[in-house]
Each structure stands twice: as structure tokens, then as C-alpha cells.
Amino acid sequence: MSSQTEAQAHTPITKWLFLVGGVILTAGLLFGYDQGVISGALVGIEKSFSVSTFMVEIITSWVTLGALVGALVAGILSDKVGRKKAVLLAAVLFTFGALVEAFAPGAWVLVAGRLIVGFGVGVASVAAPLYAAEMAPTRLRGRFVSGYQFGITFGIFLAYLIDELLSSGDRWRLMLGISAVPAVLLIVLILPSSDTPRWFLTKGRRADAESALERIRPDDTAQAMAELEASVEGETEQAGWAEVFSQTWRRPLTIGIGLAVFQQVTGINAIIYYANKIFAAAGFITPQGQTAATTWAIGAVNVLATLIAVAFVDKLGRKPLLLAGLVGMSVSLTVVGVCFWFINRSGTTTTGGPSDAGLITLVALVVYIASFAFSLGPVVWTVINEIFPRNIRGRGVSIATAANWGSAWLVSQFFLSLVDTIGESGTFMLFAALSVVAFIWILKVLPETRGRSLEDIEQMWLDEPGQAAASPAS
């Protein structure tokens, strides 16, 4: 392993790695664009189809439901047909779904388009990071995975910008349809790329594995091939579901699912999706004022703060970033909750712009987004992709990712109804309370994984007290 690290320290970045980088950024961008775009499109959609609150929630959140199914299928799919074809399928679905949305004659066809796009998002959210992790040399792997989160946040920002540009007039069809452009770009990028050397080897296609390695590791192909063969050897028996849920791996599975769920139930997508409505309630009365607040206070801050995590995740570690972020999130959510209590009590506001409480809400939301973006946003994905042992990695990542989408769906489906029932103030207080629970849970259960090789992490679970009795075979 150490010789591998030494050899890779000299690996040049070949043009193939740029291609892989392009794939991962574009896949993240599509994920983010489809998450973010709906916030600005809702006004126009509501006008065109005059739909109920419940239908608005369905149109918003069923992308997530499709993604949940897509993520569950993606682990097995990318083992069977390969990472490249799984990404290609996701890109084709994105393109088709975007066109169905853009030309939808009624609300239900629009929902069908959202489901198709969602399925693509879900497949890509498992297959693309897996593809990048297996294509990247060890020393660049962290950066490649964070590159995915950077793509997501940039996609959300782009969606907000386009929403803002197209906000005059009801051009929601164009807002949704435009995502066909990066989707086609993803097809163009992935087609000439090869599948990963690791996948070829697990399929017994040694020659293909070697020529794929030649492209990404031209300097030390032979050595890389020998290492890969040694590491794939123990893996020819891909473990089944029983192994994934076995006592031996209970801890990484619980941690993976727990982190995935906490990333969502602390409110991020309620804010990403419904930002305009939140700013409207906080007293930003013109649609232009709302979209500007959303684009810059949420979208741009999200992109910039992600760069903090990219810079520090390998220096400071995963746990300190997560804990610091959760402190910022709990405090800012509490402030938003209190502000909404004042706003609703004083019956603001249909004229004269945002009140003081509205402006404080804006500032608190900026703090919330920044805190999420340097912590739970990228770090949860990093940890999920490194804690599972090799023989269950695909399925483990797939389950944790599906849990993430499942909770994202719950939040976005019921956010507006929750606001109707317990008010904005109660809803944000609830997110704040869940952030405190997440803080305590992470403090107690998460071991630090910074600086450990994947093999170390695997061994760490096996060395835990009680583990030997639970699983003598492993």
C-alpha cells in the first residue's frame, strides 16, 4: 500500500483524468441544477396549472422519490453493466426527463418528467462518485469526491441564476428544459471514456483493465496493475445483502445511514427548494427581490463555503468540521425560528420591503447555508464513501444514499404542510432541535477517518470490542 502511495505521488494528471474530472463535475452540476431550479419555477407552474399546495409539494419532491429508487438500483446496476454505462444511462434519463418536463401539457405529465429526472439523479449520485473514486489516483481521490459536491453546489447556483434571469414572464418550461444541455454534455464526456480498471478486472477482462490503466497511469501501469489485481483478488466474491446487514458491519452501516438522514432532517433542502417562499414570508415582497436573495444569499454562499471544506477536510479532519458546522446550523436555525415568531406576531408585511426581523432572517440563513456547506454537505458524502469495507462498498453506499434521498423526500414533501400546521417558527425550531441531536450523536459515535487508509478503516471496525465474538469468520 505504501509503495502504491509513493508511486502515485508522481502520477501526472493525464488528459483522461481531466475527462473524468469533467464527468464528475457535470454529474454533480446536473444533480444540483435539478435540486435548485424548482424553487424559481414554482410560481410559473402554479399559474399555468393552478394547483393545490399538495400538488406543489409533489411537483417539488418527486424528483427525490425517483432518486431514491435510482440510488437503490444504482449499486447493483453499476456492478452489472459497469460504472460508465450506469452514468451514461443517468445522462440519457436526465435529457429525456428534462424534455418531458419542458413540454408537459399538464401537472401529472410534469410529475412524470420529475420522476424520470429524479431516477437519473439517483443513479448518478451513486455511480458518478464511484466512477471517480475508482479512476482517480489515491492522492487525488479526496479532491475528486469533493469535486462532486462542488458540482452540486455550482449546479444549484446556476439554477438560481437562470431562475433569476427568466423570472420575468412565466418561463418555467425553459428553466426546467435547459438542463438537457449539461445532460447532453455528460453523454458527450462519458462516451469516449473507458470504464474503470477495477470494474474490468472484476469481470475478468484483464486486457481492457490494462488499457484503461495505461490511460490514467501511463507512468507505472505495470505496478498499478499488479496492485489492482492483488486488491481485487479478495473481492471476486461480491458479498450479498446478508453480509451488508451482518453484525460485523453494523457500525459503518448505522453511521452511514445516520449521517445521510441527519444531513437532510436538519432542513437543507427545505431551504434550497423553498428559498423564495421563505424570503417572501420574511418580507421580500417582489419576486425579483426574492430570487436575488435566493441566488446570492443561498446559492453563491453555498458554492464558496464548499471550497472551505475542500481545503480543510484532509487537514482538520471530518469530525471537527461536522461538529463546528452543526453548532452554526443550530444557532442560525434558532435565530430564524425566533425571527419568524416576531414576523408572524406583528403581521408583516405586504408593503415597504423586509422588516428588521426579515433582514436578520436573511443573515441567519446565510450563516446556516455556510455552516452546512463546509460541513454536512461535502463531509457526509466523503465519510459515506470511505467507511464501507470493499466487499460491500457498492451496496453500502447505495443504501446510505437511498436513505439520504428518502429523508430528503420526507422533508420536501411535508415542509409546506408542516409550516401550515406548526408555523414557520415551529418548523425551524424543529430543524434546530434535530441539529442538536445530530451534534450529540456524531460526537458519540463517529470515529475520525482522516489520514486512515481504507484498509485501516475496515480493520478498525473488526477490532472493536465484541466484534470478534460477533463475527469470528471475518
Question: CA 197 to CA 219: how far, in whole Å?
Answer: 15
Only one of the segments 149-157, 290-298, 320-328, 439-447 lies at the binding site for ligand BGC (rule: CB under 6 A); that segment is 149-157
Length reported for the chain: 474
Whole-number minimum distance, CB 377 to ligand BGC, in Å?
A: 4
* Cβ-proximal residue to ligand BGC, closest one: 377
Task: Give CA separation, 248 vs 206, 245, 382, 469, 474, in Å.
Answer: 32, 8, 22, 10, 8
- Answer yes or no: are the C-beta atoms of 83 and 97 closer than 8 Å: no
Give DSSP secondary structure letters for 71-108.
HHHHHHHHHHT-HHHHHHHHHHHHHHHHHHHHT-SSHH
φ, ψ dihedrals at 469, nearest 5°:
-65, -35
DSSP code string of 322-389: HHHHHHHHHHHHHHHHHHHHHHHHTT--SSSS--HHHHHHHHHHHHHHHHHHTTHHHHHHHHHHHHS-
Under the binding rule (CB under 6 A), the answer on residue 29 touching ligand BGC is: no
The Cα–Cα gap between 85 and 72 comes to 16
Nearest to 353 by CA among 405, 279, 421, 417: 279
Please identify, among the stretches 146-154, 322-330, 332-340, 445-453, the one whose residues bind ligand BGC according to the rule CB under 6 A.
Answer: 146-154
Question: How far apart are CB 192 and ligand BGC at their closest, in Å?
Answer: 29
Q: How many residues bind ligand BGC (CB under 6 A)?
A: 14
Question: x-or-dash pattern for ligand BGC, window 158-197, by CB under 6 A?
Answer: ----------------------------------------
Rounded Cα distance, 270 and 408, in Å: 9
Query: Taking CB under 6 A as the rule, does residue 149 contact ligand BGC?
Result: yes
Applying CB under 6 A, among 8, 35, 39, 95 the residue interacting with ligand BGC is 35
> Measured from the CB atom, is 99 or 270 closer to ligand BGC?
270
Write out the binding residues for ligand BGC, residues 242-301 only, by CB under 6 A: 263, 268-269, 272
CB of 472 to ligand BGC, least distance (A): 37
Nearer to ligand BGC, 153 or 291 (CB): 153
Q: Which of 8, 248, 295, 302 binds ligand BGC (CB under 6 A)?
A: 302
408 belongs to the binding site for ligand BGC (CB under 6 A): yes
Radius of gyration of the chain (CA): 22
- For ligand BGC, the closer of residues 42 and 268 by Cβ is 268
Instruction: In angstroms, give the least distance from the CB of 100 to ligand BGC.
Output: 22
Residue choice 90, 123, 152, 212 for contact with ligand BGC (CB under 6 A):
152
Nearer to ligand BGC, 24 or 224 (CB): 24
49-88 binders of ligand BGC (CB under 6 A) = none
Identity of the residue, 107 or 364, whose beta carbon is nearer to ligand BGC in the bound complex? 364
Nearer to ligand BGC, 153 or 435 (CB): 153
Which strand (E) or helix (H) includes residue 422?
helix 393-445
CA dihedral 261, 453, 202, 16 (to 10 degrees): 90
70/377 with CB nearer ligand BGC: 377
| Footprint of ligand BGC (CB under 6 A) | 35, 149, 152-153, 156, 263, 268-269, 272, 302, 377, 381, 404, 408
